Amino acid sequence: MILLPLLALYRRHWFWISLGIVLATLTLLASIGLLTLSGWLLAGTALAGPAGLYSFNYLLPAAGIRAAAMIRTVGRYTERVVNHDATFRVLADLRVFTFKKILQLSPASTNRFQQSDLLNRLVADVDTLDHLYLRVIAPFIAALIVILVVTYGLIWLDVTLAFTLGIILLGLLLLLPMVFYRAGKPIGEALTHLRSRYRCQLTRCLQGQAELLVFGAFGRFRAKLEKIEQRWLAQQQQQASLVAIAQSLMIFASGLTVTLLLWLVAENMTFTHREGNNQSAALIALLVFTTIAAFEALSPVATAFQYLGQVITSARRVLELITKKSSIVFPHRVSAVAENIELEIKQVSFTYPNQPLPVLQNISLSISAGEHIAIVGRTGCGKSTLLQLLTRAWDVTQGDIFINQQPLANFNEKTLRQMMVVVSQRIHIFSDTLRANLLLASPLATDKALETVLNQVGLQNLLENSEGLNAWLGEGGRSLSGGEQRRLGVARALLHPAPLLLLDEPTEGLDATTEQQILSLLRQHGQNKSMILITHRLYGLDTMDRICVMDAGRLVEQGDHRQLMNKKGRYYQLGQWSAKV
């Protein structure tokens, strides 16, 4: 049942898949024919001797051998090309389909997945699914057809021997996959999970290498990584041993079957009535070589089903993403982008999933169009969570949020993103050029506009090198300092023409002079725009229209800077605490 959604993707490429199976079957039959005719011709020629040179027709089987050899060579190459092409087509569809599903998920839906785990599911687990067709479906169907054809062909020689061989081959085809699937299932599951754990641990180790070295913890992480690697290698050794056992059983079964058929021939001598004893002996050789060649069709099947446990586990991990429903659903209808934004937050409460205590409790706040407010409070009081609710990264547990008197849930995603610009605490820098990282905010911006905004935020030094806007920033912006990354995030905000600015600690990590310049720049840019500034620092808040103080998920004070300082409440205490820090 788990594989059914994946098999549905195979229907899109049924022609190439069917052609691959036909070519695989034809190649196997050509291999059987080549070995069978060769054995029969050699035996027949040897038994005929010089006296039978003119009576024994060796030209016809010789021509058949040449034909079988050419069909086998061309068929093998063409079958590999077609089967792998069909597999890659299916995997491409599956990877794109999975990626689209991941993109639709909100942060709330992917919160429990690590980024490395998501990447591992999208890449490694999807790659593992190629075993389903190449190693399971195609070999099984081809082997079944070969058994039927070989049995039918041997009926013309002897019915009893034909059905004996056919029943043995068919029994092995049905029995061995079930046995080795059961034996290989726990190994496949362990391999899939260990591979995921290894890559996640390796990613964490590489990303945090600097901190691990500074605190002397690199050795512990390396030891944990090696422990997972040893378990992974042990499971691979068990799988290799199981493959060897399966191949040994096939060789043993092949020898027993040949012995059984020779015993039946010796008992009945059913070929003696055809062309004389010599030719009967040649036909016996034909039967032996046919049996040996027919078992070649079964060899891939016995070992292939060991990988089925790995395929099913990977399929389950991929389907966990594909079938996951986004907790945030945006309407499809397109809404007009407003030029001015009014916000109203009514009795909003929010609790993260699987968390016992609420993060926000009964928050009510109204923001007029063009008003600049600051939300302050100590770390962990819920400031950033409130910002995430405004962007619909999460939906409120209780209460309502309105934009221009319309529920937040009524706006489609595109309109909502056009109406607001966010500078988050973590500025992500993509492994791309400086220009590409800026064009995320405004795809149509000219190079002159990009250079202007870089000068405004104090990043003109990035333009001084020979590459300019074409400078490569690297993974996570490793060539930039923390302050430069923060200012690059502010530059994006300045480029995005949105009537609502949501700023989460935009000056964190900046020196006092740069902080003053950035705040002044944001106030100037935010004229006639609504702005929410989240910070735990009280510097520059005297210019804000209103300041809201949060504590333990509640809104405890509101007013301007002078009013709150004269009140000597929680805001005053924060000021005293900040001065000491």
Report how far residue 499's alpha carbon sits from residue 341's, in angstroms, rounded to the nearest whole number: 6
Report how far residue 106's alpha carbon sits from residue 87's, in angstroms, rounded to the nearest whole number: 31
- What pLDDT, in 10s, does the model give residues 16-34? 888 888 898 898 888 888 8
Spell out the CATH class of 343-580.
alpha beta
For residues 78 and 23, the answer to whether their CB atoms sit within 8 Å is yes
Per-residue model confidence (pLDDT) at position 46: 65
Widest distance between CA atoms in the chain: 126
Token pair 């009576």 in the structure block, residue: 55
Report how far residue 152's alpha carbon sits from residue 173's, in angstroms, rounded to the nearest whole number: 17
* pTM exceeds 0.85 for this model: no
Per-residue model confidence (pLDDT) at position 181: 83
What DSSP string describes 451-518? HHHHHHTT-GGGGSSSSGGG-B--GGGTTS-HHHHHHHHHHHHHHS--SEEEEESTTTT--HHHHHHH
Per-residue model confidence (pLDDT) at position 44: 66
CATH T-level fold of 4-322: ABC transporter transmembrane region fold (1.20.1560)
Per-residue model confidence (pLDDT) at position 466: 72
Q: Which portions of the chain are predicted below pLDDT 70? A: 1-2, 43-44, 46-59, 106-112, 267-282, 334, 575-581
Spatial strand order in the sheet of 360-367 = 360-367, 343-350, 398-403, 406-407
Domain boundaries, the chain: 4-322, 343-580
Per-residue model confidence (pLDDT) at position 272: 46
Helix (H) or strand (E) holding 59: helix 59-104
- What pLDDT, in 10s, does the model give residues 154-163? 888 778 888 8
How many Cβ atoms are within 10 Å of 50's Cβ, its own excluded?
A: 6
CA-based radius of gyration for the chain: 36
The two three-digit tokens of residue 244, written as one number: 């060897």
Per-residue model confidence (pLDDT) at position 231: 92
Question: Where would I find the beta strands (DSSP E) of 377-459?
Answer: 398-403, 406-407, 420-423
Per-residue model confidence (pLDDT) at position 230: 92
